[in-house]
């Protein structure tokens, strides 16, 4: 899973009916779409198990759960969150340990590996002042500890390309070849192409897809931008 170098993760922050309609329209775009992200909007309204069951009946994309934001509690509770996610037949779980500390990050990662759920760790968020209550190097510390724990997949902002480059370089210096998942394109100001040039592998796209008149065209448009940027970067 997440073996390819590029892909789009539609973020289904909508009603279940709308989510299923969108997925129906894009489910054959296997090359372009690397997985689906579901979050608190769907999970709180319908329950995680039902949402996953409905999506699995409609398509066979990997499903990522982003509780917006989980993995921030005491280690024992975070372990139980991972167990719930695994029991709900989810492939990958996004946690945001910024502010929760190293024991929480360790509990999250270990529980994911034990339950065969791919851990994805948020190292920096897209919105302004996300770090108002954090130390200056909090993101770098989260990245380094996660790498020591064997995490390979991270969330970092598409709308801050310089930060993406920094994280890729830190990982390279630690001999790790990480994959970066980036929200922050479209309404949050980032471009899929500039993000890929800075090191993003997978863009997480919400509104630009689910508010598009034609979500399918939007997926192919975004993927084309990513692919062109990737080819230019690697040539
Ligand atoms: P949109 O493309 O509509 O801006 O949606 C972005 C998605 O990515 C939302 O689900 C949001 O919760 C998530 N996200 C984000 O925007 N910034 C982050 O730093 C981390 C996120 O998970």
- Which residue is listed with tokens 């360790």? 106
Contacts of 190 (CB under 8 A, 6+ apart): 126, 157, 158, 159, 160, 161, 182, 184
Q: What SS3 state is found at 39?
A: strand
Give domain status of residue 115, yes or no: yes
Q: What is the pLDDT at residue 3?
A: 87
The tens digit of pLDDT for each residue in 173-216 reads 999 999 999 999 999 999 999 999 999 999 999 999 999 999 99
For ligand 1, the distance from its centroid to the CA atom of residue 62, given in whole angstroms, is 18
> Of all protein residues, whose CA lies closest to atom 19 belonging to ligand 1?
125
Give domain status of residue 86, yes or no: yes
Give domain status of residue 1, yes or no: no
- Cβ of 204 closer than 6 Å to ligand 1, yes or no, is yes
Q: Extract the tokens encoding 119.
A: 């851990």
Give domain status of residue 14, yes or no: yes
The tens digit of pLDDT for each residue in 95-142 reads 999 989 999 999 999 999 999 999 999 999 999 999 999 999 999 999
Q: What is the pLDDT at residue 31?
A: 95
Q: What is the pLDDT at residue 52?
A: 97
Q: Extract the tokens encoding 70.
A: 């989980």
> Of all protein residues, whose CA lies closest to atom 14 belonging to ligand 1?
183
Q: What is the pLDDT at residue 68?
A: 78
- Cβ of 38 closer than 6 Å to ligand 1, yes or no, is no
Choose the residue to mutate in 157, 182, 184, 195 for probing ligand 1, maximizing ligand atoms within 8 Å of C-beta: 184
Q: Extract the tokens encoding 115.
A: 């339950």
Domain at 225, CATH number:
3.20.20.70
Count of domains observed in the chain: 1
Give domain status of residue 166, yes or no: yes
Q: What is the pLDDT at residue 42?
A: 96
* Structural domain for 176, as ranges: 7-234
Give domain status of residue 33, yes or no: yes
Give domain status of residue 143, yes or no: yes
Q: What is the pLDDT at residue 235?
A: 72
Is pTM beyond 0.85 here? yes
> Of all protein residues, whose CA lies closest to atom 17 belonging to ligand 1?
126
Give domain status of residue 204, yes or no: yes
Q: What is the pLDDT at residue 135?
A: 94
- Cβ of 155 closer than 6 Å to ligand 1, yes or no, is yes
The tens digit of pLDDT for each residue in 26-85 reads 999 999 999 999 999 999 999 999 999 999 999 999 999 999 778 899 999 999 999 999
């Amino acid at each position: 899973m997440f073996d390819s170098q590029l892909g789009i993760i539609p973020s289904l922050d909508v009603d279940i009916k709308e989510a299923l309609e969108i997925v129906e329209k894009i489910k054959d775009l296997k090359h372009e779409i690397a997985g689906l992200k579901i979050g608190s909007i769907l999970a709180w309204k319908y329950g995680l198990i039902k949402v996953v069951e409905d999506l699995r009946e409609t398509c066979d994309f990997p499903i990522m759960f982003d509780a917006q934001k989980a993995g921030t509690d005491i280690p024992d509770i975070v372990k139980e969150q991972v167990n719930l996610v695994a029991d709900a037949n989810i492939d990958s779980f996004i946690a945001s340990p910024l502010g929760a500390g190293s024991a929480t990050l360790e509990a999250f990662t270990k529980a994911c590996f034990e339950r065969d759920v791919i851990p994805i760790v948020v190292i920096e968020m897209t919105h302004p002042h996300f770090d108002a209550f954090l130390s200056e190097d909090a993101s770098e510390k989260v990245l380094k500890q996660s790498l020591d724990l064997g995490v390979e997949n991270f969330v970092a902002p598409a709308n801050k390309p310089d930060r993406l480059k920094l994280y890729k370089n830190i990982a390279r210096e630690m001999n790790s070849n990480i994959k970066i998942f980036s929200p922050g394109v479209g309404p949050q100001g980032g471009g899929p192409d500039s993000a890929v040039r800075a090191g993003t592998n997978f863009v997480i796209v919400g509104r630009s897809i689910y508010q598009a008149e034609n979500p399918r065209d939007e997926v192919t448009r975004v993927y084309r931008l990513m692919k062109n940027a990737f080819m230019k970067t690697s040539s």
